[in-house]
Homo-oligomer: A and B are copies of this chain.
Amino acid sequence: MSDTPRLDWPSRRDPPPDWRRGAAAVAALSFDVDAETPILAVDERYATHLSTMSHQAYGPRVGIPRILELLARLEVRSTFFFPGATVERWPDALSAVLEAGHEVALHSHRHVPLVQLSPDEQRADLERGLAALAAHGVTPAGYRAPLWQQTRYTLDLLAEYGIRWDSSLMDDDRPYVIDPGAGRPALAELPVHWSLDDWEQYAFVPEPDIGQNIELPRKVLELWTGELEAMRATGSLCLICCHPFLTGRPSRLRNVERFVEFARGLGDVELLTCGEVAARVLDDPAPS
């Protein structure tokens, strides 16, 4: 029987103690604009499955405009994670998000889980994603890995390419600082969790298998508000992750509005973008 493997954790440290600026908890809304990428990352032959592609296209085509309209009405700034391939296929979606004044971060290029890529492939995917955003004048400060599945090497790469924060790990519900070492700059980590993601509750297509449940919006809202409410006792970051092709549907989008109203009604919760949280964690100047 072999020894159990050692784990190669990056060095981490706590954020400045006042990162919440007196709030009991901090909430942030994020939108992963996956569009077709998670399906094509499984197999590119799905490009000819018109119905499935249309299911994904709902996100940039219908979901994004409605989400932007809602956030404008609520006066909430949010963070949108774009795969590079989505930027190439749906440039208008990126433009609309930028014009509305939201933060844009990178969500890889092709939405292939990084654990399936060699180091060179990871580097190439990151470079392509950055190039796709750069073509629209965007230099992202933040990154989120596809399926929240990255490796130790991903953090090194992010630091090397000037990314300031990541949002893909789950070993805390409070943000923290990662020191990748070897002289690379520190990264802020903004942890996520599956229970605050809309994917596990709503995602269904006949193939490939991306999920089997279609749950009630009411259930999803209770997952979100229940966690935020409890996080006021733990001083945590309640980072909601939505997908426009899922949460953009009419009754599901209401959850975003109700969550914001719930958070504001608590009176001691601050709503920030991911970049604003990261700046506090790194003691950087606030992003414009």
**Residue positions of A touching B, CB distance < 8 A:** 1-2, 4-9, 36-37, 40, 44, 47-55, 57-58, 61-62, 66, 85, 88-89, 110, 113, 115, 121, 124-125, 128, 145, 147-152, 154-155, 168-173, 191, 193-195, 200-202, 204-206, 211-214, 216-219, 222-223, 226-227, 229-231, 233-234, 236, 249-251, 253-254
Contacts and interface: CB of A to CB of B under 8 A. Distances in A.
A278 to B, nearest CB: 17
Q: Which of A110, A124, A168, A250 has the most CB of B within 10 A?
A: A250
Contacts of A37: 4
Contacts of A249: 173, 193, 195, 227
Given A4-B85, A154-B50, A229 B251 contact: yes
User: DSSP class of A's interface residues: helix, strand, loop or mixed?
Assistant: helix
Contacts of A54: 169-171, 191
One complex includes copies of this chain to the number of 4
Contacts of A216: 219, 222-223, 226
A171 B115 contact: no
7 contacts: A1-B110, A2-B44, A8-B47, A50-B155, A55-B171, A148-B206, A229-B251
A287 B214 CA distance: 34
Nearest to A145: B51
Contacts of A6: 47
